[in-house]
Structures are given as structure tokens and as C-alpha cells.
Amino acid sequence: MAKETRPSGSPFKRLFFALPVSDDQRRSVAQWRRELELRSGKPVPADNFHLTLLFLGDVDSAQLPALCAAVDQIKRPAAPLRVLLDQLQVWPRAEALVLQASDAPPALRQLVYALEQAALGLGIARSSREYRAHLTLARDFQGQVPEASVPADFYLSARHFTLYESRKGRYLPLAQWSLKV
């Protein structure tokens, strides 16, 4: 398989940190999404459901060991994270339909900040947007927020977070860190 390269010729990976979603949680969210009877957008495969922590974008492959070493050193929550996804939202600029947390737990925000600082220390660009805990349900979505017969009320629990590579529509786990230090 050919490696993807930057214009400079150096190989890169498209990376992001996320909380994984359990199989039971995937099935529940996928069933709820089916009941929305969406008429717009491309549904995200349930196997790709995750709660985004930090999108890094294209990162030189050579930086991967240093990134993992930096994340090894961050302060992590001492207990599993529990996040309530309770708002169905349309993000028009991103053309995405998402399940969003109306109130992200402080431990989650602290983890995101620590990851941002670790990436920034390596010169990896970070988003200037405010963090919004979310799970993407559909891409290329246009229109209003669909009406749900049952309100969004999904508690996602995670005992670890993962560094993923996005490759051709698949999310491949590269490294994982426990939330119980």
C-alpha cells in the first residue's frame, strides 16, 4: 500500500483523539438515528461512532512516537469518563448532524486541554474553535434539526481514549491510554 505524502514528500497520517463508543452504545445510537428517518446527508457507519476529543489533521508520520510520548506524560482523569449526549444539532458550516453534550464534564474538558497542549508542544496545529463534545451522526447534512420522537439521552462511558488514524473512511486505532492512572 502506498503511503500518503505531503507536497514536501514526507509521509503523513490524518489523526484524531477520541473516546471510543461501546458496541451496546453504538447499537442504541444507530437505532435512535434510524428512527429519525433522515432525508439528508450520509449516515456515519456505526462502527465509526466516537466522541471526538481533538482533531489533529495531517501529522508527519515521523512525529507519531513523540506525540505518543507526550500524551504518556499528560494528566489524565483518574476515573472513567461519563458524558451525556442530549442535544441533536446541525452544524451548518461542517454540514454535519451531531449528538452534542449540553454540558461537558470538567474532567473531559481538562483532558482535551491537556491533549491540545501536548500537540502544541510538538508544533502540531490545533483548532482555534471552542471544544464541543459530540458524536457525528451524518455528514453532508443540510437542513433543519430533525424531530425526534424520543429525546436524545445517551450516556457514553469510557475507560480509555484512543489515537485514531482516518484512512479512506475507516478509523484505525493507533494507540490507547487508560483513564485510570
Residues 16-37, mean pLDDT to the nearest whole number: 95
136: buried, middle or exposed (CB in 10 Å: 19+, 13-18, 0-12)?
A: buried
Residues 45-56, mean pLDDT to the nearest whole number: 94
Residues 111-120, mean pLDDT to the nearest whole number: 94
Asked if residue 5 belongs to a domain, the reply is: no
Indicate the pLDDT class of residue 20, thresholds 50, 70 and 90: very high
| Dist CA 25 CA 171 (whole Å) | 17
List the catalytic residue out of 26, 33, 50, 76: 50
Kindly list the distances between the CA atom of residue 25 and the CA atoms of 15, 33, 114, in Å, as whole numbers in the listed order.
23, 12, 26
Indicate the pLDDT class of residue 181, thresholds 50, 70 and 90: low
Residues 47-53, mean pLDDT to the nearest whole number: 95
List the catalytic residue out of 15, 85, 134, 152: 134
As a whole number, the mean pLDDT across the chain is 90
Asked if residue 78 belongs to a domain, the reply is: yes
Residues 105-131, mean pLDDT to the nearest whole number: 88
Q: Is 50 a catalytic residue?
A: yes
Domain harbouring 152, CATH code? 3.90.1140.10
Residue 68 has phi, psi (to 5 degrees) of -65, -40
What pTM was estimated for this model as a whole?
Answer: 0.88
Check residue 173 and give its pLDDT: 95
Domain that holds residue 88: 12-178
Check residue 153 and give its pLDDT: 92
| Dist CA 54 CA 67 (whole Å) | 13
Q: Is 160 a catalytic residue?
A: no
Asked if residue 4 belongs to a domain, the reply is: no
The three three-digit cell numbers of residue 48, written as one number = 465509526
Listed in sequence order, the residues at least 6 apart from 11 whose beta carbon sits closer than 8 Å to its beta carbon are 3, 4, 5, 60, 61, 62
The three three-digit cell numbers of residue 151, written as one number = 429525546
Share of the chain above pLDDT 90, in %: 77
DSSP state of 11: B
Asked if residue 103 belongs to a domain, the reply is: yes
Check residue 180 and give its pLDDT: 72
| Residue whose C-alpha is closest to residue 56's, from 99, 10, 13, 4 | 13
Asked if residue 102 belongs to a domain, the reply is: yes
178, pLDDT greater than 90: yes
10, pLDDT greater than 80: no
Check residue 78 and give its pLDDT: 84
pLDDT in tens, 121-148: 899 866 667 899 999 999 999 989 999 8
Measured over the CA atoms of residue 144, residue 147, residue 148 and residue 153, the dihedral's sign is: positive
Number of independent structural domains in the chain: 1
Planar angle of CA 118, 69, 22, nearest 5 degrees: 80
The three three-digit cell numbers of residue 115, written as one number = 491533549
